[in-house]
Amino acid sequence: MPTPTLLPKAFFNRDVHAVAPDLIGASLLFNGVGGLIVEVEAYHHTDPAAHSYGGPTVRNAVMFGPPGYAYVYRSYGVHWCVNFVCEPKGSASAVLLRALQPTTGLPAMRRRRGVADDRLLCSGPGKLCEALGVTGKHGGLPLDRAPFALHARAEDLPIVVGPRIGITKAADLPWRYGLAGSRYLSKPFR
DNA sequence: TATGAGATCAACT
DNA sequence: GTTGATCTCATAC
């Protein structure tokens, strides 16, 4: 097994469309619990679907900060969703984590989620945060140290792209990236 | 398999 | 007052 490489902040200091596919297959642990990233979506400040579209607010302030930090927001008033901020400071782009293949800390994830089926633990942005225990208080934390632990994938993987999920604006842009054939996606790719 | 409602809150009109 | 980067459960086909 090759020694995994811990992702430095510089990894995120690139175009969001370069970072997003490179995250597929990477491993994400949060307080020692997590798995392999199998699905993400890219958002950019010129993108009408992005929270940063239209300028900084209290909620999206982290997106306008430096890359390599976590932007966490509440979705539909109920769920937490986590993003990785990308590109040079100020461009307000981010990658939304949508699904993981669970590998580590399965008992903790099953307990938090209240389900036993591995495929239901992290197959969606809200589920993923619940399984890992990520909440709003973790917004703004750096991604290159605890409680986060991100490692680059060891080899190239087949990546598929498609339109993003659950949005109404710019819904046709193919800015969703996934691991081809994964059983752990929030939804299959067409 | 597919569609619909409810939960619950911050941003925005 | 309305909308949304969601999820779960219920009911219908």
Q: Which pTM value belongs to this model?
A: 0.95
Per-residue pLDDT of A112-156, as tens digits, reads 999 999 999 999 999 999 999 999 999 999 999 999 999 999 899
Per-residue model confidence (pLDDT) at position A89: 81
Instruction: Assess contact for A152 and A124: CB atoms under 8 A.
Output: no
- Residue A90's pLDDT band (cuts 50, 70, 90): confident
Question: Distance (Å, rounded) from C-alpha A190 to C-alpha A185?
Answer: 12
The tokens for A66 are 């430096």
Residue A87's pLDDT is 87
Residues near strand B (C-beta below 7 A) are: A 54-55, 57-59, 74, 76-78
Q: Is the dihedral of CA A30, A124, A177, A3 positive or negative?
A: positive
Protein footprint on strand B: which nucleotides are under 7 Å from a CB? 7-13
- Per-residue pLDDT band for A3 (boundaries 50, 70, 90) equals low
pLDDT in tens, A18-68: 999 999 999 999 999 999 999 999 999 999 999 999 899 999 999 999 999
| pLDDT at residue A190, rounded to an integer | 84
Distance CA A156, CA A147 (A): 27
Strand C contact with A108 (CB < 7 A): no
Strand, helix or coil at A141? coil
Strand C within 7 A of A27 CB = no
Q: Which nucleotide has its C1' atom closest to residue A55's CA? A: B11
Question: H-type helices in chain A, by residue range?
Answer: 16-23, 106-113, 125-132
Q: Are A25 and A32 in contact (CB under 8 A)?
A: no
Quote the mean pLDDT of chain A. 94
